[in-house]
Amino acid sequence: MHNIEKSADTQIERFTQREETLLHTDFSQSPTLLDGFLHPELFEISPIGSYTSRSEIVNWLLAKSPTQRWHLSQFKVVELAADTMLVCYQANSISDGVVKATGSLRSSIWRFHDQQWRLQFHQATKN
């Protein structure tokens, strides 16, 4: 059985770090690192309302600009089960050091799988 820290601040810190790592890491240099973050059954609902498969998400993560940065804020973490967390936050892209006023409200479901937290579901809604 795994030991999951129950502190809300610890949970927010843990999942903020995992979300930021997914967005900011240049996985093209080490694509196998993605397996430590992505659940085998991962899928996404895109901002335009379509389903995105795990392989499409992997392709996006490998092709994204390594210099693109995001400002993540307003984190909420809700324990759905001992091994399942819902993470919601606001994401705004940063351009020339300036955080864009518009962005997306995001939700992720993270599952504890093979001894680590892995992203199983993601949705982004533009705002």
* Per-residue model confidence as pLDDT tens digits over 4-38: 456 788 999 999 999 999 999 999 989 999 999 99
What pLDDT digit, counting tens, does each position of 39-96 carry?
A: 999 999 988 899 999 999 999 999 999 899 999 999 999 999 999 999 999 999 999 8
| Global pTM value | 0.89
Reading phi first (left if > 0) and then psi (alpha if -120 to 50, else beta), residue 8 is in: alpha
